[in-house]
């Protein structure tokens, strides 16, 4: 397996130098202030936990996986013990409310920590990751009694959470759900139905599991308008009367089986059966769709981070191998005269692969950390920042989820390619990253679903307003730096790409007014263009920071020079992908829809 090393220097560059986290955190209304020293202390300890506790059990998670026996799920060796260390260290409650036992720190800090845990051990990271969605949902929509019962336990980590949405006959189209909720005289409901693909639905790592379940109350409207959300615990809470909540009798919730998956085998993916299980409605009846999106948006950001996890893990493995593997001589002359051949890192095609990995992974980190900081601003920033942050999040979340996972999977496959035939062998761990990562483009809404959300609801649905807000920020940056000679190679193509994206939006919008299939036909290409433009914006800013540091005589000349050179590679070798994507997006729906259904044959 590749030896994982948390990229602390890269993390500090993005947070402190690129996004000015010190100013950001000082401006928030957080319960606790996150100072630079505290940020360094927390991230350093998180890095040690990821490197020394999680990474060593990653292989067993894949080789042994989860085991199901008569409804009970046993996690791989070391998973339960690692989770107990996580709980004892207070990691689950980093951004939880202090009144509920949390530490009251900004959400973005928990996102940064999740990079380390997810790259070190993706399967293990799913368990606390799912709990965050449940916490956010109950915080936002639960009543005071529900908060008192569930939040303290979820925030401390002794209870974990799930999202129970998908059913055997319907995936993304949740309006087709069949799970029923029958009211009881005491205000609770009996929940009956089957949910599939439920991550962390059953396991042995916590004393209770809190399921967030969508269901339809009898007589509710058809479709998504009739969705309600319920808290359905594995064990019903037992309030002893002294304010201490424990676990009581077993609810009628059971795990029918676990899926046998391509990857993330240490994460239990369950079929969950609810047989008149007692549940408690969250919020008002038939308002579950909005509450569900509170969980979904948290999950989409978490999945975007998993794209970075793929990229970082694969890049680290590929870079180490390329420095050690000897093969052939350099085209420009021997570079390793004392050895029988040169290390493969000297060959242009290997450099192409490593530079692509580096440019995409570092760009993803800048993008995702920016979104995490926007989440802080939307909830804890000054009033004038909140609306703009909300608008940017609406536009950028589907791009981040889809683009970072698509390019993360590209980076993971490149890592295998650097290893050559050895990349296909399990002992090196590179193929595990590919297998683990493939799910990220599927769950929490496929790439196609994110693309439809972006072009349909977010861009065309807002009359272009959301895109214009982002474009205004980009153009402001370009205007500020247009006279800087050193920045012209970045600012000019960025400005042009933003202009092209806007013109493409107008073209697709006009066509879609005549034929709605035009938006669907262009949607994935359109989203990928958006992703490359956002990363160009990130790389142009990173180049600016690095050039300013070099001009000031920074003592880390090699680090900042590498940033400028990687930015140059991105703009010259990766950014031109948008040109072909524009062509395919403009090609329209005709060739896609021209073939009669009966003509699809074999």
Angle at 527 between CA 292 and CA 511, to 5 degrees: 105
Among 191, 399, 144, 209, smallest CA distance to 288 is for 191
Annotated catalytic, 444?
Answer: yes
From the list 312, 362, 431, 444, the catalytic residue is: 444
HSE-CB of 56 using CA atoms within 13 angstroms: 9
Q: Are 85 and 20 in contact (CB under 8 A)?
A: no
Q: Are 255 and 113 in contact (CB under 8 A)?
A: no
HSE-CB of 20 using CA atoms within 13 angstroms: 6
250, two tokens: 């077993």
Helix or strand run (H / E) with residue 49: helix 36-49
Q: Are 515 and 543 in contact (CB under 8 A)?
A: no
Determine the Cα–Cα distance for residues 398 and 140; give it in Å rounded to an integer.
21
Alpha helices, H only, 200-287: none
Maximum Cα interatomic distance, the chain, rounded to a whole number of Å? 84
Phi first, then psi: give them for residue 328, nearest 5 degrees. 60, 175
317, two tokens: 């493995």
45, two tokens: 């300890």
312, two tokens: 């970082």
Q: Are 489 and 418 in contact (CB under 8 A)?
A: no
Number of other CB atoms surrounding residue 344 within 10 Å: 23
Please classify residue 590 by burial: count the beta carbons closer than 10 Å to its beta carbon, then call 0-12 exposed, 13-18 middle and 19+ buried.
exposed
Q: Are 117 and 85 in contact (CB under 8 A)?
A: no
- Helix axes of 348-380 and 517-551: crossing angle, nearest 10 degrees: 100
HSE-CB of 3 using CA atoms within 13 angstroms: 4
Determine the Cα–Cα distance for residues 503 and 528; give it in Å rounded to an integer.
16
313, two tokens: 């893990």
Burial per residue of 439-461, b for 16 or more beta-carbon CB atoms within 10 angstroms, e otherwise:
bbbebbbbbebbbbbbbeebbbe
Q: Where are the beta strands (DSSP E) in 63-139?
A: 67-69, 72-74
Determine the Cα–Cα distance for residues 24 and 419; give it in Å rounded to an integer.
41
- Which residues have a catalytic role annotated? 444
């Amino acid at each position: 397996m590749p030896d994982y090393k948390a990229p602390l220097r890269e993390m500090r560059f993005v947070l402190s130098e690129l996004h000015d986290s010190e100013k950001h955190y000082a401006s928030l209304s957080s319960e606790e202030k996150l100072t630079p020293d505290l940020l360094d202390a927390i991230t350093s300890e998180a890095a040690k936990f990821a490197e020394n506790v999680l990474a060593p059990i990653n292989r067993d998670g894949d080789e042994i996986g989860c085991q199901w026996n008569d409804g009970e799920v046993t996690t791989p060796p070391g998973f339960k013990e690692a989770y107990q260390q996580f709980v004892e260290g207070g990691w689950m409650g980093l951004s939880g409310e202090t009144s509920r036992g949390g530490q009251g720190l900004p959400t973005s800090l928990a996102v940064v920590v999740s990079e380390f845990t997810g790259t070190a051990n993706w399967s293990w990271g799913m368990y606390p990751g799912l709990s965050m969605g449940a916490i956010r949902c109950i915080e936002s929509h639960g009543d005071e009694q529900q908060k008192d019962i569930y939040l303290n336990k979820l925030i401390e980590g002794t209870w974990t959470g799930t999202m129970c949405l998908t059913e055997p006959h319907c995936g993304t189209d949740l309006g087709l759900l069949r799970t029923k909720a029958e009211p009881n005289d005491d205000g609770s409901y009996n929940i009956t139905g089957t949910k599939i693909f439920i991550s962390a639905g059953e396991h042995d790592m916590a004393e209770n599991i809190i399921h967030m379940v969508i269901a339809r109350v009898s007589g509710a409207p058809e479709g998504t308008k009739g969705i309600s959300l319920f808290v359905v615990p594995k064990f019903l809470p037992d309030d002893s009367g002294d304010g201490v909540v424990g676990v009581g009798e077993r609810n009628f919730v059971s795990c029918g089986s676990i899926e046998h998956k391509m990857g993330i085998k240490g994460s239990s993916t369950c079929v969950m059966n609810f047989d008149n299980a007692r549940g408690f409605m969250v919020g008002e009846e038939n308002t579950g769709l909005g509450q569900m999106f509170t969980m979904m948006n948290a999950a989409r950001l978490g999945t975007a981070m998993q794209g970075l996890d793929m990229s970082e893990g694969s890049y680290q493995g590929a870079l180490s191998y390329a420095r050690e593997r000897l093969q052939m001589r350099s085209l420009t002359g021997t570079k390793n005269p004392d050895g029988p051949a040169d290390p493969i890192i000297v060959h242009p095609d290997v450099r192409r692969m490593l530079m692509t990995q580096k440019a995409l992974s570092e760009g993803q980190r800048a993008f995702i950390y920016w979104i995490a900081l926007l989440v802080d601003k939307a909830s804890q920033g000054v009033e004038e920042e909140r609306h703009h942050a909300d608008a940017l999040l609406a536009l950028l979340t589907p791009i981040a989820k889809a683009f970072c996972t698509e390019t993360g999977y590209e980076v993971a496959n490149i890592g295998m390619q650097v290893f050559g035939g050895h990349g296909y062998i399990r002992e090196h761990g590179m193929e595990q990253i590919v297998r683990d990562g493939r799910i990220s483009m599927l769950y929490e809404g496929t790439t196609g679903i994110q693309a439809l959300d972006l072009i349909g609801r977010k861009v065309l649905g807002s009359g272009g307003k959301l895109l214009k807000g982002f474009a205004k920020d980009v153009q402001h940056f370009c205007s500020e730096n247009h006279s800087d000679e050193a920045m012209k190679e970045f600012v000019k193509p960025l400005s042009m790409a933003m202009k092209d994206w806007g013109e493409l939006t107008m073209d697709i919008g006009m066509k879609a007014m005549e034929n709605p299939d035009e938006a669907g036909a262009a949607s994935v290409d359109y989203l990928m263009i958006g992703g490359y433009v956002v990363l160009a914006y990130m790389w142009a800013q990173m180049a600016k920071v690095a050039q300013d540091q070099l001009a000031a005589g920074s003592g880390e000349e090699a680090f900042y020079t590498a940033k400028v050179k990687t930015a140059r590679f991105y703009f010259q070798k990766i950014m031109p992908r948008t040109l072909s994507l524009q062509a395919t997006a403009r090609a329209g729906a005709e060739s896609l829809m021209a073939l009669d259904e009966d003509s699809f044959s074999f």
